[in-house]
Amino acid sequence: MREEERVEMVRTQVEGRDIDDPAVLAAMRKVERHLFIPDSRRKEAYADRPLPIGSDQTISQPYIVAYMTELLRLTKSKSVLEIGTGSGYQTAILAELAEKVFTVEYIASLSGEAREILDKLNYRNIAYRVGDGYAGWPEFAPFDAIIVTCAPDDIPDTLIGQLAEGGRMVIPMGAGSYQELMLIEKKPGGKVVIRDLIGVRFVPMVHS
């Protein structure tokens, strides 16, 4: 039954909104979203909305996960930095597509819970860190792609600095109820191009 729900979720919520990257669609069909959601909300796992996961954090709407992932243009030879491990669901989607995922989470308990689930699912291409997302993960930079799943007031210069030339970063930005999802591309030679995409709503990015 869960698989049927997942296939229907992808058909209506993802393909139905013009996500067409075959690898992204395959990952969305494969990763079991209900495993990343508290037992009390699992019946809603494949609904078209974000859901609470505890610690005032959320798991994003499936479409937004697919949309942000498609923008990164990941392949099996690429490394990706994720800021905001959260439930680990987005992390799993990235791990299906990239060679290596480096994921940073500010809340230690969330990082531990996500890692436990992802280890059980046998993902072996994920590195975990508890810390300030604004700092990124300089030891493993530059990254071919960066995805930020929480909203800062301004784009952190540190993250732009850790993006490889030719790389892409997707990040929601803004305070309060309205934020803008932005695509940042670092062109060969280091020129940075920023584009506004769609209105979104993410939890704030915590900074220590």
Whether 40 is catalytic: no
CA distance 75 to 61: 23
Beta-bridge partner residues of 148: 83
- Catalytic residue, from 40, 55, 60, 79: name it: 60
Peptide bond into 172 cis (omega under 30): no
Residue 153 neighbours by CB under 8 Å, 6+ apart: 173, 174, 175
User: Taking a C-beta distance cutoff of 8 angstroms, is the pair 148, 159 a contact?
Assistant: yes
How many C-beta neighbours within 10 Å does residue 2 have?
A: 13
Residue corresponding to tokens 């979104």: 200
Residue 50 neighbours by CB under 8 Å, 6+ apart: 58, 59, 60, 61, 64
> What is the chain's Cα-based Rg?
16
Q: Which residues are known to be catalytic?
A: 60
